[in-house]
Structure 1
Amino acid sequence: MDLPAVPVTGSLAESFGAAFGRPPDGVWHAPGRVNLIGEHTDYNDGFVLPFALSRGVSVAAARRDDGLIEVRSRQAAAAVTAPVDGPPVVSEGWPDERSWAAYPVGVARVLREHGAGGATLLIDSDLPQGAGLSSSAALECATALALRDLHGVQAGRPALARLAQRAENEQVGMPCGLMDQSASLLCTAGHALMLDCRSGLSSQVPFDPAAAGLTLLVVDTRASHALTGGEYGRRRAECEEAAALLGVAALRDVEDLAGALGTLRDPVLRRRVQHVVTENHRVEATVGLLRAGALPEFGAMLNASHLSLRDQFEVSWPEADATVDTALLAGARGGRMVGGGFGGSVIVLTPADRAAKVRDAITAAYAERSWTPPEFLDAVPSQGAHRLS
């Protein structure tokens, strides 16, 4: 049966009514995130410090009791209807034009174990895909919050974050850590989230660059990444191998870095360990700086993190390196790649009165290299996932 086209103007609730012939039971929103510092530490049981963006994914949803989940999007032509009681989505071999639907269907299949059932969903997003701002986790969390409310699932936000992570790990086949889902569900406006990825414990850390005369720019390098590819999984496997050789549960437990580096013979594993251990220290140091109101000094942490991600963890890419170098030459205090790597975005901390100069310099650097022009995104610490209506 041919479905009516999804209107791309008007409210999401209005588009839902036009597409499905009935109003939604509610609309939910989950934000994307920027990780200030703490990259590739989450799946090593370490520390991270993300904050929520104002941009994200919204889901209009209506409960259904026939055991099916029907998913449509304003950004994709394909519609997907699948049983909630089904195998891992990754095993079903969905074609590329349907792959985006694996995230909400996967969440529904995990939440089914906790009493959730079917739903009809219409999705809208203003996050650029492939920019390293966690559009997939925002989609998972908006879906999870909607299904929880529609079916009365008893799960607090920390538990819901772990369930959304499970969906990405088991259903989509992406071995991500807990950070992205926790950031989308737990962050509050004007704060970054200090998260211990082992215990799940978190605390809110004040983060207000504007009050300190600073601007945090998010630069979408337009070099898209797909983390379900092999490189991300390889980095995780290398970390697990190093932890096993060192006799620790996770690299978070390495206390004597020099001793660990002396124990490991493989230079690749030594580089991976050096990054994870020092990055955890940088997260803790950054929390201290932010709590002390020393935001300008945070720039040095960004620079050190980027160099480590580039040289020790080897996940940076040419556009990211050029963005950081150009920003520093134009007067920024610091910058680094964010996300899993191999494409995506960069954050740059700059005095507010130099922000325009920094943006112009980065744009010019891309033009000189004949790269696709970068995009600059709003980076104000914003509210976590919530119900809109």
Structure 2
Amino acid sequence: MGVREGFEELYGAAPEGVWAAPGRVNLIGEYTDFNEGFVMPLALPHTAVAAVSRREDGVLRLHSADIEGPVVELRVDELVPLTNTSWAAYPAGVVWALREAGHAAVASGADIHLASTVPTGAGLSSSAALEVVTALALNDLYELGLTGPQLARLSQRAENDFVGVPCGVMDQTASACCVEGHALHLDCRDLSIRQVPFDLASQGLELLVVDSRVKHALGDGAYAERRAGCEEGARQLGVTHLRDVSYEELDGALERLTDERVRRYVRHVVSDDHRVEQVIALLDAGDVRAIGPVLTDGHRSLRDDLRISCPELDLVVSTANASGALGARMTGGGFGGSAVVLVESTDVDTVTKAITEAFAAAGYTAPRVFPAVPSAGARRVA
């Protein structure tokens, strides 16, 4: 059953419209966004889809086709941060954030029915897709006039302040602003964006996503601990954010840090910002294959300095590279989730088979492997 039909069955009338917002995979630039650095995500074909209608009585009704349970009914004027731990906190948080930002029209409420093909717990921003699709639908229905970057910021606030996850703005910006056939270069300081052509098919290449099937939860404190460590590094170095430490200054900066943990975090963030710049330069020069070693170098940094990898993700990267991939790295918040693998189109089957067999030999759950086709950002679909 589609979301339109599901909405009608739940609420007894057709929705006013249907919207979609994609998940994302991050090509390069991890844990750099909250340090006001650079990231380079691309939108996936997988989307959260929402059928939505306005209400006039201040009630917010939420339902997910993907999660067992009845319609969640809330009052917009009674939404309180950090009180809801269910999936409904993500769309409800967007309504709260819009109202807090002065968009009083949303206080009249809405009926929302959601379905998603973005894998949860895979590091592909299923939560950001839910937030952005809700924000876009309400923006259109209530004629709020907000831009994609503004919707991303409000969605980030929903996740930070309402749900309680201290994420940066990359995931929501990718979902709201990506363009088909491109990767998005986002400067997380001024939120300027550049669409970088990333047409792998024309080069005889594919970017594979390997979902390790290891679930992670960023709310468990590990993400927050690393964010706090980065902030402590910036404080000790006398800068507002680690973005202000150039790659050329890195060695000298590290010598000034006494805490080994903080030093590792700083080294990762400054070097990953540099890797984003390297990838952009290579793509601008048309040398797509050369980004492979940069991806693998990024994985080493995530594994050894940030220490957010896991045995399954390390196995993906080592196996992929040993079986002919051009480069690979884990992507997302870590402790599970997914890796990206850059391969020649002719080697997709070989690399996929090698990874699957390596997982079986190690006794791991079989991974899910699919191509990351750079896709469109959030849009109205009906």
Same fold at TM > 0.5? yes
AA paired with 2:270? Answer: V
Q: Secondary structure at the match of 1:81?
A: strand
2:87 aligned partner? 100
AA paired with 1:365? Answer: A
* Residue 81 (1) aligns with residue 103 (2): no
Q: List, as ranges, runs of 4+ consecutive aligned residues in structure 1 with deviation greater than 4 Å.
A: none
2:280 aligned partner? 287
Matches within 5 A, 1:1-389: 9=1, 11-78=2-69, 79-90=71-82, 92-94=83-85, 99-112=86-99, 113-115=102-104, 116-117=106-107, 118-255=109-246, 256-389=249-382
1:5 aligned partner? none
- Structure 2 CA distance for aligned equivalents of residues 31 and 378 of structure 1: 15
What do residues 16-68 of structure 1 show as CA deviations (whole Å, max 9, x unaligned)? Answer: 11111000000000000011000000000000000000101000001012112
Q: Secondary structure at the match of 1:76?
A: coil
Which structure 1 residue ranges, 5 or more long, are not aligned?
Answer: 1-8
Deviates more, 1:332-341 or 1:206-215: 206-215
Which structure 2 residue ranges, 5 or more long, are not aligned?
Answer: none
What do residues 152-197 of structure 1 show as CA deviations (whole Å, max 9, x unaligned)? Answer: 1131111111011000000000000010000001100000000000
- Structure 1 CA distance for aligned equivalents of residues 198 and 80 of structure 2: 39
AA paired with 2:322? Answer: L
Please state how far the C-alpha of 1:373 moved relative to its aligned partner: 0.2
- Structure 2 CA distance for aligned equivalents of residues 86 and 281 of structure 1: 45
Does structure 2 retain, via aligned residues, the 8 Å contact 1:54–1:378? Answer: no
Q: Secondary structure at the match of 1:141?
A: helix
Q: 1:93 to 1:29 in 2, by over 3 A?
A: closer
Please state how far the C-alpha of 1:81 moved relative to its aligned partner: 1.1
- Structure 2 CA distance for aligned equivalents of residues 290 and 154 of structure 1: 34
Deviates more, 1:371-380 or 1:180-189: 371-380
- Structure 2 CA distance for aligned equivalents of residues 18 and 114 of structure 1: 30
- Normalising by the residue count of structure 2, what TM-score does the alignment of the two structures yield? 0.97
- Structure 1 CA distance for aligned equivalents of residues 236 and 55 of structure 2: 50
- Structure 2 CA distance for aligned equivalents of residues 273 and 87 of structure 1: 37
AA paired with 1:199? Answer: D
What do residues 319-374 of structure 1 show as CA deviations (whole Å, max 9, x unaligned)? Answer: 00000000011100100000010110000001111110000000000000111100
Q: Percent identity?
A: 51
Q: Secondary structure at the match of 2:191?
A: coil
AA paired with 2:213? Answer: R
Q: 1:32 to 1:93 in 2, by over 3 A?
A: closer
Q: Secondary structure at the match of 2:255?
A: helix
- Structure 1 CA distance for aligned equivalents of residues 34 and 372 of structure 2: 25
Aligned pair count? 375
- Structure 2 CA distance for aligned equivalents of residues 323 and 93 of structure 1: 35
Aligned alpha-carbon RMSD (Å): 0.9
